[in-house]
Copies of this chain bind each other. A is one copy, B any other.
């Protein structure tokens, strides 16, 4: 009854039932943080002293990110599974790679957008950062299936790539597999998507609708922020299956890391990145919210509550950086040929 009264009140006066300040303070006290509006503060997150950001690196990293010649077959790029046109994902339950092979643990491709804010990469968190992460899928038999030497041979056979590495890292650069993955990581670090949610946390109280503010409050009250917190609203390792077994999806053979921990996915752009969970087992966001309540929190979330939280999650759909599709340098006689086998 109280909620109903509040809803009427909101409809009547056109503003939130929450004082914006109090909801903002509450969100901060629950560990929610915006993508910084201040560019220097933002740079403190997306820069990395091990491979400092620069325009030549971003441009080169972008080219390599989109270049299918980094795969054995020549037709799979980073962007195939982490598609920047589709919320940074592939939109299928389990990644499909070389020779149409499904991910052996039936794992769903996480979004590359805002992955710089994750404290660990991969579902089992085995990788500390993007420069390391990018080495994995390129080599994995079920993904791009390219041995390190093949990747390096392809890149160094293309003079424009060599020139761009020199421009980015100096004329004595050694083009190693690790260097290639690292510059892809530089590009990926720029893929941040500020959203209405951030505008709200950064002080624009009108950035969220009244219903979204209600959803945000419910999101906190229900305990979602226990795992979905920080800038990423996720990205940290958390215990897998705390309260109960999954109801609707089968766990498969993936059990997280050796301690049974799993990386909490970011909720940013979640409305664009179905299907959900490590195995892509649920396609509907409200259903996913209810399942998480049951599995992780041991509570029942009603249809109405799930809808409210989903409305809030819509506010995490961010403004994407404008990406000019690259024109990649042509292969040469020396470029190792693709192989579909």
Which residues of A are interface residues toward B (Cβ below 8 A)? Answer: 66-69, 73-75, 80, 83-87, 90-92, 96, 99-100, 102, 271-272, 274, 283-284, 320, 322-328, 330-331, 333, 337-338, 340
Contact = CB atoms under 8 A, between A and B. Distances in A.
Q: What is the interface of chain A mostly: helix, strand, loop, or mixed?
A: loop
Contacts of A320: 327
Contacts of A73: 92, 96
Contacts of A75: 80, 90-92, 96
Contacts of A271: 330
Contacts of A338: 91-92
A73 B83 CA distance: 15
Contacts of A328: 85-86
Nearest to A80: B75
Nearest to A283: B337
A67 B86 CA distance: 9
Contact of A333 (B80, B86, B91, B284): B284
Nearest to A332: B274
A327 B85 contact: yes
B100 A274 contact: no
The 4 closest A-B pairs by CB, nearest first: A100-B100, A323-B325, A272-B330, A325-B325
B85 A66 contact: yes
Given A284-B333, A330-B272, A340-B100, A91 B69 contact: yes
24 contacts: A68-B86, A68-B91, A69-B91, A73-B92, A73-B96, A75-B80, A75-B96, A85-B325, A85-B326, A85-B328, A86-B328, A87-B330, A96-B340, A99-B100, A100-B340, A271-B330, A272-B330, A283-B333, A283-B337, A284-B333, A320-B327, A322-B324, A323-B324, A324-B325
Contacts of A74: 90-92
A86 to B, nearest CB: 6
Given A68-B83, A283-B333, A284-B333, 5 more contacts: A67-B85, A69-B91, A75-B92, A92-B340, A100-B340
A331 B96 contact: no
A83 B69 CA distance: 12
A80 B324 CA distance: 17
A84 B77 CA distance: 14
Nearest to A273: B330
A73 B80 CA distance: 12
User: Considering residues A87, A100, A102, A323, which has the most beta carbons from chain B within 10 angstroms of its beta carbon?
Assistant: A100
A113 to B, nearest CB: 11
Contacts of A66: 85
Contacts of A283: 333, 337
B327 A324 contact: no
Contact of A274 (B90, B102, B331): B331
